[in-house]
């Protein structure tokens, strides 16, 4: 795990949701559990290609995609659920790598990022 705050520009993120299946609420986002970490993670992706590869790497083939264009609201909602956020999780040499969003020390960076104006 690497520590340090990064400034990331994400105009849009994609969140995978389970399709309706027995025992799973149809509007439940996909969650991931990592060894030795008690909280669950919700994976978010910066592109459909990365989402497809990431979901295949954890063996989930049936899902739908929700587009999120307000990252600050999405982070608050996910944290309300008691989950952590992993951006673009992927497997390298048998280990899962990702960038974590929404850590307490990142909140000031997200808060202070200026909104982009569209012309």
Tally the C-alpha atoms within 13 A of residue 105's C-alpha that lie toward its C-beta.
5
pLDDT category at 8 given cuts 50, 70, 90 is low
Q: How many CB atoms lie within 10 A of CB 111?
A: 8
Q: Map tokens 């992706």 to a residue.
A: 45
Instruction: Band the pLDDT of 111: cuts 50, 70, 90.
Output: very low
DSSP, res 36:
T
pLDDT digits (tens, 9 = 90+) for 60-100: 888 889 898 888 888 888 889 899 999 999 888 888 889 88
Phi, psi of 3 (to 5 degrees): -100, 155
Whole-number Å distance between alpha carbons of 48 and 14: 7
pLDDT at site 48 = 92
pTM for the complete prediction? 0.73
Spatial distance between the Cα atoms of 119 and 108, rounded to a whole number of angstroms: 27
Half-sphere exposure of 14 (CA within 13 A, CB side): 17
Domains of the chain listed by start with CATH number: 13-112 (3.40.1350)
């Amino acid at each position: 795990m690497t520590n340090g705050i990064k400034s990331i520009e994400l105009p849009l993120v994609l969140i995978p949701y389970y399709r309706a299946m027995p025992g799973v609420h149809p509007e439940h986002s996909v969650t991931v559990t990592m060894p030795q970490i008690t909280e669950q993670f919700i994976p978010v992706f910066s592109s459909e290609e990365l989402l497809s590869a990431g979901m295949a790497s954890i063996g989930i083939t049936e899902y739908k995609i929700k587009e999120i264009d307000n990252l600050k609201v999405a982070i608050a909602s996910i944290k309300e659920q008691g989950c952590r956020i992993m951006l673009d999780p992927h497997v390298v040499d048998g280990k899962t790598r990702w960038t974590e969003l929404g850590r307490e020390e990142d909140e000031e960076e997200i808060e202070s990022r200026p909104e982009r104006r569209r012309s």
